[in-house]
Structure 1
Amino acid sequence: MRLITFFAKLCSWFVALISVAAPASPAYRIASPDKQTQFDVRVDARQRLVYRVIQAGKTVVGPSVLGFRLNELTIGEQTVLGKMSQRTHREQIKWPLGENDIIRNHYTEMSVQARSAGVPYTLVARVFDGSVAFRYVLPKTAAPGIIRQELTSFDLAAGYTVYQYNEESVFTPTSLSALTKTCDFPATLTNGTLYLSIGEAHNQSYTKAVLARADSPNALTTAFHRGDSVRTNGLFVSPWRTISVATSAIGLHQFSDLALRLCPPPREGVPGWIKPGKLIRAALTTQGGLDCIDFAAAHGFSYIMFDAGWYGAEFRSSSDPTQVIPAIDMPRVIQYGKDKGRTGQPIGVILYVNRVGLRAKLDTILPLYKRWGVAGLKFGFVDGLSHEGLNWLIPAIKKVYDHGFVLNIHDNYKPTGLSRTYPNLLTQEGIRGNENNPDAFHNTVLPFTRFVAGAADYTFCYPNANQQFSDNLLKTKLQVTKGQQLALTVVYFSPLQAMLWYGNPVHYTNEVELEVFARVPTVWNESHYLTGEIGRHVSVARRKGNTWYVGTVAGLTDWEGGIPLSFLPKGKTYTATVYEDDGEGSIQKRSVTLTGGESWPVQIKARGGQVIMLQSL
């Protein structure tokens, strides 16, 4: 017994000696250009690859697991770190299709070589002021495999509330400890002091990932939608996972271009043929198209669109997107739109094509529509949820770009910054838009959640004299006022903006209200979130040329406060044209004088809104 005890002690001494003598695993850290945001990566005591995010000297995301399951291997466990390389990047991106003319793209990057389960891989991380982004890279020499699960986790330093949603659902504020459902990217969280956005960028060959509650308290983990998997073959690069930190809700807006910054630029800049603008949806007749073109020309719209049904029932394989239904004389409508260019800008025609038709005939319709003179396409019901679906969709976006069409993708697809690489992708849905008749809470949550990922086509359903927001499927009144509808055209960003979604243009006769739709741009020289709280209220100022537009909306309760005019030169005076609810279901218009540097007092009733257009004296 004594001999056994002696050998046990000898073994423990030997293990301790090895532990002391063994070199410590390296830990790497990089900081943002302003040094306030830090990201470090190391191997923990259990030999797992972990990371931390530090903001202003405080840990925001604690040691959190990195890695993924490749075939039957767990990459990230038993990790050995190798060399680290580091570089800085400073760039000013000219971007004529965004919320600002210039996108500032400054960051510090590190690439860390690692090996796990005999598999070499690289972790690449970039640190921006207020944000971090990281991704996994498998080398070209890697054998084909299947990623069955991503293990990336987010262990938060305190209890947070997440605004849970999936695809086009409503938002449900939920504490992490009570979370039972998954949440889409981008996910917005707050603990009352900090506001976080956990997002995704450059998803071009992966699958849809979501956030799920992890085993430890206050932690989230990454899961694949419906248990999907990802096939790899040679060089493989995962999407970026991003974490952005702000001290206010409106501070999240500074990261709304982060996904663009993380995607490659277009081959030769932004082509001149890509035109942003507003569109109106036409009835499926020749006259419907002509009427919409007249309305578009009179109100500063750039496009009309023939939606589902112009080539037959959209989900039937017998419907052919190369054949127009007899009710529409497509050549006449397209030519009529072009003729409007004799006295102004031509009005382009955008055609909707469902995934059934796209999958069957994409390579046929693109050169055909070019011969017809079509301006753009709208993809409907594509699969943005699976590896197979995204592997079809991203090459399809490139084909549309190569053929010279603007593009709008509807239904469940959300942006990950690919509009920078393919700038013809002007907008996408991935949002519970106005045709679902959301309430004012939903409308005032969106600027701080889904819109942090990028542009969204909200499909405004503005009422007219003939009908109050009704169609064959939904017969109900809007849950918000006309003033809120008008203001949201400023608050929400989309280079291609669908207006008057259920309306017939001949029924819109109130030109005072239509002035806002006619004048408001869809891309901007600069933008500022002025004030706001998630689900309560928001005010946004945007400039196009010499004119400022300020949109302010209230949630489910009245909002009274002041809007800081600090975005204007101090002391400079402006004529302000104000459009707001008159309390009787219509819009009133008035003019006042404002001075830069002061505060504009507002009293907005629940569900209401206000638009101000400012021009210097």
Structure 2
Amino acid sequence: MDATFILKAVAIIIFITMIQHKPVKALFAWVCCLFSVNAFPQAPIFLKSPGNNLTIEVNTKDSLSWRLIKGHETLISHAVAGLDIAHKPYIGFNEQVKSVDRVAKNEMIYPVVAVRQKAIRDAYNELRINFRSGNTIIFRAYDNGVAYRWVTHFKDSVNVENEIVDYVFPDNNRVLWGIEENKQFLSHFELLFKDSTVASFSKEQHCGLPLYVSSAAGTRMLLTEADLLDYSNLFFFGTNSNKITSGFPKVILKESLVRDRSTKIEENADYIARTTGSRSFPWRLVMVANEDKELLENNLVYQLASPNTLKSTDWIVPGKASWDWWNDNNIYGVDFRSGINNQTYKYYIDFAARFGLQYIILDEGWSKSTWDVIHPRDSINVPELVAYGKAKNVGVILWTLWQPMDKDMDNVLSIYAQWGVKGVKVDFMARADQYMVNFYERLSANAASHHLMVDLHGAYKPTGLNRRYPNIMSYEGVRGMENYKWSDDEATPPHEVTLPFTRMVLGAMDFTPGAMRNATKRDFHINFDAPMSQGTRAHQVAMYAVYESPWQMLADNPSNYLRDTACTGYIAAFPTTWDTTVALQGKIKEYVAVARKKGNQWFIGAMTNWSPRDLTLHLDFLDAGKKYKVKIFSDGINADKFAEDYRIAYAAWVKGQEVTVHMQPGGGWSAIVTEE
């Protein structure tokens, strides 16, 4: 006989016996509560990945909890999932299972903009646990990660007061923790990843995502979220133990403007989102890899995102852009006064056209003020520049602050479209609350209606919105090369070989590479107007293969590029989207090597930290029976003393060869491999 049936029978007997001595209402409530409690544990529910290498064990007694197991190794020993919705029973606690549904999928996704792959296999096993409360939790197990999300079915809108996303690791694991200092979650999310242990962080400290975790046995995990819509961003707090717990920005009720672009929060609501009551919530995602390099091929953020909503996409054109802000428009060797004027930007267009670059960017300063973004300053005529660029197959992208865009979005975008502009770079959002999440979506949808592409700067990390709106070409949310203009200890070669295994895994990354003034660690100095990079020239060039961004920048001065056309022509040959990505080598904070295919060519990039390094690359990814001609860009023999020293060489390769790559301190190596 079922144990629950026996329990209910006993409860009825007790109820009848006691009714003579207690008020009926109180006893009835007591019995109802007894009926709702799972007095006997519900059996764990298991979900395995398609290859059986990952296992999720879900327990529904008391709180909804789960474990993650890889083979015989426990990766997450106890994870708790719950939703606290105002005036509703706590979702995930004392839930009773109504039914369990399972599905297995093995399909192909074909991205409109192929950032990492032109075809992504989406193979997973899914578990849907439907509760008597009417709520559902969905788990998915892939061979390279797991994810879960809540689904609710309330009739009216609800206030979500909190969501519990807790993870307990079996050991005091190594973590690379992107510390965020602002307690109100106001940040540009340009994370520096501190190498430490999970227990070294207190409840007063929180991190932005992703969070990199290495288990005691060496399994790598990357924790993040996906399909973030109409909700608040997830952050993690420490507990001085092996446990991390979630935190979210609350809805802002009252705010004020600081200077022309910053937000001061004056009043918050007591909830993190007001949203429709019948919806799917963001995916909570744990990527899993045996070694760091596997993270370079992980597409789970994209796979878990909502599908493309745009009917017309042929106007979305990735490409490289000549960018003005990093080099401060310090053009030289010309017969006009350089600066923010049409002569300077025509020079950019001429440069872009010469090397086949698709775009130029007019960054901050082109408009009458940072808030008047529909009237160019007197020295700028945008329609004239657009026409000049169109004749040379070079498009124009305009920068704007997010606040004036937010206040007059359709009008601003309509004017830009009338001018013939190709896209917008929207900047200084520096928030992660629900309103900002919705701003990203409104901007992307409205820009698409005007056939405008979008670059999100001052932005939180990618969560897959570029799948839903493929006109999103890139995100910042990275401690990028701009930091060389004011710092000597932030964007360094060790940081630059950390990013491929952390921030870049989540999606396109507008690091803005291409420095032509390169310095050793000893020779580097800060220069805002004529900036330089740390590491070698070959290190910078390799970024065009290693770093992913459908809008990839050439950040330096066109005059500098024109002084070295051999290097510039080599950079210009790199695509910005890829058919295939193959991870070759990688160790976080130390080195990275990756091969990417476009058409009948392979583009390979390798980078190292401040340690000189030899890597052996196995050419197994090439096609058998074919011959390839190779152009190699490597550190010069004196690059350890003069970082701009490089060498271009040529070779012939076939499948199965091994190639030894040498990199100087802060160095790099790259190759363009063309099928004969």
Per the normalisation by structure 2, the TM-score is 0.82
1:359 aligns with 2:376: no
Moved more, 217-226 or 325-334: 217-226
Deviation at 1:479, TM superposition (A): 1.4
Q: Is contact 1:208-1:384 (8 Å) kept? A: no
Paired position in structure 2 for 1:418: 465
Paired position in structure 2 for 1:149: 162
Paired position in structure 2 for 1:265: 307
Q: Is contact 1:306-1:351 (8 Å) kept? A: yes
Paired position in structure 1 for 2:288: 245
Q: How far apart are the structure 2 equivalents of 1:571 and 1:603? A: 27
The correspondence of residues 86-101 of structure 1 with structure 2, limited to 5 A, is 86-95=102-111, 96-101=113-118
Deviation at 1:516, TM superposition (A): 2.2
Q: Is contact 2:191-2:208 (8 Å) kept? A: no
SS at match of 1:463: coil
- Partner AA of 2:439 in structure 1: W
SS at match of 1:289: helix
Residue of structure 2 aligned with 1:577, choices 631, 656, 664: 631
Gaps of 5+ in 2: 1-9, 15-34, 181-188, 251-267, 330-339, 485-490
Paired position in structure 2 for 1:35: 52
Q: For residues 474 and 41 of structure 1, do their structure 2 counterparts lie closer, same or farther at Cα, with a shift above 3 Å needed?
A: farther
* Cα shift readout 1:426-485 (whole Å, capped 9, x = no counterpart): 1110100111131110000000000110111011251259xx999974665421111100
Deviation at 1:172, TM superposition (A): 0.8
The correspondence of residues 73-88 of structure 1 with structure 2, limited to 5 A, is 74-88=90-104
- Partner AA of 1:332 in structure 2: E
Residue of structure 2 aligned with 1:439, choices 470, 478, 492: 492
Q: Is contact 1:461-1:503 (8 Å) kept? A: no
Q: How far apart are the structure 2 equivalents of 1:413 and 1:63? A: 28
Q: For residues 114 and 247 of structure 1, do their structure 2 counterparts lie closer, same or farther at Cα, with a shift above 3 Å needed?
A: same
Q: Is contact 1:182-1:212 (8 Å) kept? A: yes
Paired position in structure 2 for 1:188: 212
Paired position in structure 1 for 2:433: 386
Q: Is contact 1:97-1:276 (8 Å) kept? A: no
- Partner AA of 1:139 in structure 2: H
The correspondence of residues 322-337 of structure 1 with structure 2, limited to 5 A, is 322-337=374-389
* Cα shift readout 1:340-368 (whole Å, capped 9, x = no counterpart): 1xxxxx21111111012212221101111
1:274 aligns with 2:321: no
SS at match of 2:91: strand
1:558 aligns with 2:612: yes
Paired position in structure 2 for 1:136: 150
Deviation at 1:324, TM superposition (A): 0.8
Q: Is contact 1:469-1:502 (8 Å) kept? A: no
* Cα shift readout 1:214-252 (whole Å, capped 9, x = no counterpart): 47x322221114787111332232210001111100011
- Partner AA of 1:606 in structure 2: P
Paired position in structure 2 for 1:338: 390
Q: For residues 24 and 175 of structure 1, do their structure 2 counterparts lie closer, same or farther at Cα, with a shift above 3 Å needed?
A: closer
- Partner AA of 1:382 in structure 2: M
Q: How far apart are the structure 2 equivalents of 1:506 and 1:329? A: 26
Percent of aligned positions with the same letter in both sequences? 27
Paired position in structure 1 for 2:356: 300
Q: Is contact 2:239-2:245 (8 Å) kept? A: yes
- Partner AA of 1:81 in structure 2: V
Moved more, 588-597 or 518-527: 588-597
- Partner AA of 1:171 in structure 2: F
Paired position in structure 2 for 1:614: 673
Paired position in structure 2 for 1:3: none
Paired position in structure 1 for 2:71: 56
The correspondence of residues 100-119 of structure 1 with structure 2, limited to 5 A, is 100-114=117-131
Moved more, 556-565 or 220-229: 220-229
Paired position in structure 1 for 2:28: none
- Partner AA of 1:130 in structure 2: N
Q: How far apart are the structure 2 equivalents of 1:365 and 1:377? A: 10
Q: For residues 361 and 126 of structure 1, do their structure 2 counterparts lie closer, same or farther at Cα, with a shift above 3 Å needed?
A: same
Residue of structure 1 aligned with 2:176, choices 163, 173, 177: 163
Q: Is contact 2:516-2:560 (8 Å) kept? A: no
* Cα shift readout 1:13-32 (whole Å, capped 9, x = no counterpart): x9xxx99x966424322222
Paired position in structure 2 for 1:25: 42
- Partner AA of 1:129 in structure 2: D
Q: How far apart are the structure 2 equivalents of 1:507 and 1:451? A: 26
SS at match of 2:465: coil
* Cα shift readout 1:518-564 (whole Å, capped 9, x = no counterpart): 10110011111100100111101111111111101111211123111
Q: For residues 484 and 212 of structure 1, do their structure 2 counterparts lie closer, same or farther at Cα, with a shift above 3 Å needed?
A: same
The correspondence of residues 302-321 of structure 1 with structure 2, limited to 5 A, is 302-314=358-370, 319-321=371-373
Q: How far apart are the structure 2 equivalents of 1:327 and 1:153? A: 55
Q: How far apart are the structure 1 equivalents of 2:373 and 2:161? A: 37
Q: How far apart are the structure 2 equivalents of 1:537 and 1:454? A: 20
* Cα shift readout 1:403-429 (whole Å, capped 9, x = no counterpart): 211110001322101111100001110
The correspondence of residues 532-611 of structure 1 with structure 2, limited to 5 A, is 532-570=586-624, 572-582=626-636, 583=638, 584=642, 585-611=644-670
- Partner AA of 1:151 in structure 2: I
SS at match of 1:420: helix
1:201 aligns with 2:226: yes
Paired position in structure 1 for 2:195: 173
Deviation at 1:150, TM superposition (A): 1.7
SS at match of 2:284: strand
Paired position in structure 1 for 2:582: 528
Q: How far apart are the structure 2 equivalents of 1:586 and 1:336? A: 36
* Cα shift readout 1:34-67 (whole Å, capped 9, x = no counterpart): 22222232224xx111112222243221232110
Q: Is contact 2:517-2:532 (8 Å) kept? A: no
1:231 aligns with 2:274: yes
Moved more, 548-557 or 80-89: 80-89
Deviation at 1:268, TM superposition (A): 5.4
Paired position in structure 2 for 1:67: 82
- Partner AA of 1:494 in structure 2: S
Paired position in structure 1 for 2:543: 488
- Partner AA of 1:425 in structure 2: I
SS at match of 1:105: strand
Q: How far apart are the structure 1 equivalents of 2:481 and 2:674? A: 30
Q: Is contact 1:39-1:53 (8 Å) kept? A: yes
Q: For residues 610 and 269 of structure 1, do their structure 2 counterparts lie closer, same or farther at Cα, with a shift above 3 Å needed?
A: farther
Paired position in structure 2 for 1:5: none
- Partner AA of 1:333 in structure 2: L
Q: How far apart are the structure 1 equivalents of 2:527 and 2:195? A: 32
CA RMSD of aligned residues (A): 2.7
Paired position in structure 2 for 1:4: none
Q: For residues 546 and 361 of structure 1, do their structure 2 counterparts lie closer, same or farther at Cα, with a shift above 3 Å needed?
A: same
Paired position in structure 1 for 2:260: none
Deviation at 1:506, TM superposition (A): 6.6
Q: For residues 497 and 446 of structure 1, do their structure 2 counterparts lie closer, same or farther at Cα, with a shift above 3 Å needed?
A: same
- Partner AA of 2:358 in structure 1: S
1:459 aligns with 2:512: yes
Paired position in structure 2 for 1:404: 451
SS at match of 1:74: coil
